[in-house]
Amino acid sequence: MLETLESLRLLADPATFAGNLLVYALVISVGTALGRLRVFGVSLGVTFILFAGLAAGHFGFTPNPVILGFLRDFGLMLFVFFIGLQVGPSFFSSFRAGGLQLNALCLFGIVLSVVVTIALWAAFAGRIPLAEMLGEHYGAVTNTPGLGAVQEALSVLGWTGADPAVAYACAYPLAVVGIIGTAVAVRWVWRIDPAEEDRRWEASESEQHAAPITFYVEASNGYLEDKPIKVIRQVIGRPFVISRRYNETEGLMSPGPNTRVKVGDVLRCVALEEHKEAVVAFFGKERTDVDLTSEHSPVHSSLILITEPSVNGLRIQDLHLSHYDGTNVTRIYRAGMELFPYQNLHLHLGDRLVVVGPERAVARLAGVLGNQEKKLDHPNVISVFVGIALGILTGSIPIVIPGIPAALKLGLAGGPLVVAILLGRFGPSLKLATYTTNSASLMLREIGISFFLASVGLAAGPGFVAAFTGGDGFLFMGLGLIVTLVPLWVVAAAARIGLRMNYHSIVGLLAGMTTNPPALAHAATLSEKNSAAVAYSTVYPLAMFLRILTGQIVLLLFWTAA
């Protein structure tokens, strides 16, 4: 066995680039394989790479420090940048309606976890340095990018003490168990029936449904006679689309903005639920006994994919649909969301448009929009590297705060994240094609986080075992569990008792607040609905953003006291 280890050590010579890459390849391969193993239905996933790296580092497989530092920083930057691109389109919209409530609870939980960490650090003043306490904090909240941001800030401040990754690794395993255990305990304490929670969630969703709906009206209001649809829309003052019009004289057609309505017309309308009553009242009455979408209808409906770069960033009104013989866009599907086609809504590459109109006109519009799925397989490399460059520059901007010994910087974790969120949301408006296929984005994120976790483990490996044999390893585990459980239970109690929140949404909130995929995977086993995933995705962008920044802020605020 010792001879085998010695042979591997010689092969993985840190003096050669190939030897360094061999170490990373072995660590990532072993860690990924072991991360798929389930214990009581729970797996650590990609995070097990950290522990494979700790083991390799303990046995002396330590890469060249320069290469290790490069791959650690590059991996972290790659991970957070593509996370930002993914959540960018929904980041700002997540603060509306129910999302505001979820994000407020998330903010409260994050602040509480920071307060608990500071209180514990003060209680053990003189024994645990602030740097290690923050490492323990990020292990307790299972947030690896936050640890990277703290490590970067420590290097700027000239820290030469213990690597905070050791404390992180000590706290992490119990944190995963604690988060999932809290989800189970909450269900038991409040005697919750998951099936009943599913029914409640479905009822709530139907009441607050924000996707466009379809309904029929009959024009019985005499004012409407011979009025163009665009005039009627201005008078009503509510956004809606008329996708089909029928009367006995002209038959069935797809109307345009200049089409004149006749009394007696039957119209198929698309609008948000909140505007339906006003639209029906103005036209005259609702019709529930008609269907203008028969199989032999001359009006054609098609789902068109935007793949033409020149369309990226255009607004619906810029398409000039009146030039396409009464063609109408009735819905837009983007990143799993169904949107109403407001005239000033900017189009993104990858959007899918539901288009209704004469078949030839719809085909012409499809040619303009692209509708060639293979085009999206080619990555927008320019936008990616422009975004990374801007992220690096943004992260290096010093933010001077009076009373703090060093300027605050977003760094390689915060800068690319902020820029990517902004590009994901506003890039198309600036004619930047930021679309990346889900598979490509996931691949790059996984490569990035794998390199980062392996680097952290390899660097902290020599000190990890020592932390348990003669250090504070068990203390870090205990303190980490406090940091994990206190915010989770306070937030869960506030959500369930104070706000009567759905159980599955609470579990998704707790998983998102700690940016913990294993907890979300556990939530998926409790329900066939996506209520937990909705809550998770709603709070995840804010949680990731704040987790990356709060550690640096705490470090700089209390650095002189440390």
Domain coverage including residue 526 = 2-202+382-557
Whether 185 and 59 map to the same domain: the answer is yes
- Reading the block at residue 375, the tokens are 């085009």
**Residue 483 in domain:** yes
What's the pLDDT score for residue 209? 44
Whether 419 and 370 map to the same domain: the answer is no
Answer with the one of 319, 353, 374 that is the final residue of a domain: 374
Whether 220 and 185 map to the same domain: the answer is no
Q: How many degrees, rounded to 5, is the angle at CA 183 between CA 180 and CA 184?
A: 90
134 touches 554 (CB < 8 A): yes
Q: Which amino acid is at 560?
A: T
Whether 160 and 34 map to the same domain: the answer is yes
Whether 9 and 157 map to the same domain: the answer is yes
Whether 370 and 394 map to the same domain: the answer is no
Q: Which residues does residue 354 pair with via DSSP β-bridges, in sequence order? A: 303, 331
CA distance 113 to 133: 12
What's the pLDDT score for residue 92? 67
82 touches 424 (CB < 8 A): no
Whether 351 and 438 map to the same domain: the answer is no
150 touches 551 (CB < 8 A): yes
**Residue 456 in domain:** yes
What count of other Cβ atoms lies within 10 Å of the Cβ of residue 290?
Answer: 12
**Residue 93 in domain:** yes
Find, among 522, 450, 491, 457, the residue nearest to 28 by Cα. 450
**Residue 562 in domain:** no
Answer with the one of 374, 402, 431 that is the final residue of a domain: 374
What's the pLDDT score for residue 458? 86
Concatenate the DSSP letters of all residues of 514-547 into one string. TT-HHHHHHHHTT-SSSHHHHHHHHHHHHHHHHH
Whether 285 and 431 map to the same domain: the answer is no
**Residue 476 in domain:** yes
**Residue 207 in domain:** no
* pLDDT by 10s per residue, the chain, length 562: 555 555 555 555 666 787 888 889 989 998 888 877 776 655 666 778 878 888 888 887 878 888 888 888 888 888 878 877 776 766 666 566 567 888 899 999 999 999 999 999 999 877 889 999 999 999 899 887 788 888 888 887 788 888 888 888 888 878 877 887 898 889 889 988 888 887 776 666 554 445 688 899 999 999 999 999 989 988 998 889 998 999 988 888 888 888 999 999 999 999 888 889 999 999 999 999 888 877 566 778 888 988 887 887 788 888 888 777 778 888 888 765 677 888 888 788 788 899 988 888 888 888 888 888 777 777 777 888 888 899 889 888 877 766 655 566 777 767 887 888 788 777 777 767 777 777 777 788 888 888 888 887 888 777 777 777 767 888 888 999 999 999 999 999 999 999 888 898 898 899 889 987 667 656 666 776 666 766 776 787 788 888 888 888 888 888 765 5
In three-state secondary structure terms, 61 is coil
In three-state secondary structure terms, 128 is coil
**Residue 362 in domain:** yes
Answer with the one of 374, 397, 423 that is the final residue of a domain: 374
Q: How many domains does the chain have?
A: 2
CA distance 47 to 173: 10
What count of other Cβ atoms lies within 10 Å of the Cβ of residue 367?
Answer: 12
Element spanning 470, H or E: none
How many residues appear in the chain? 562
Whether 356 and 427 map to the same domain: the answer is no
540 touches 137 (CB < 8 A): no
Whether 366 and 424 map to the same domain: the answer is no
Largest CA distance in the chain: 95
CA distance 535 to 474: 33
**Residue 64 in domain:** yes
Whether 163 and 311 map to the same domain: the answer is no
Whether 231 and 327 map to the same domain: the answer is yes
What's the pLDDT score for residue 109? 96
What's the pLDDT score for residue 344? 82
CATH of the domain at 348: 3.30.70.1450
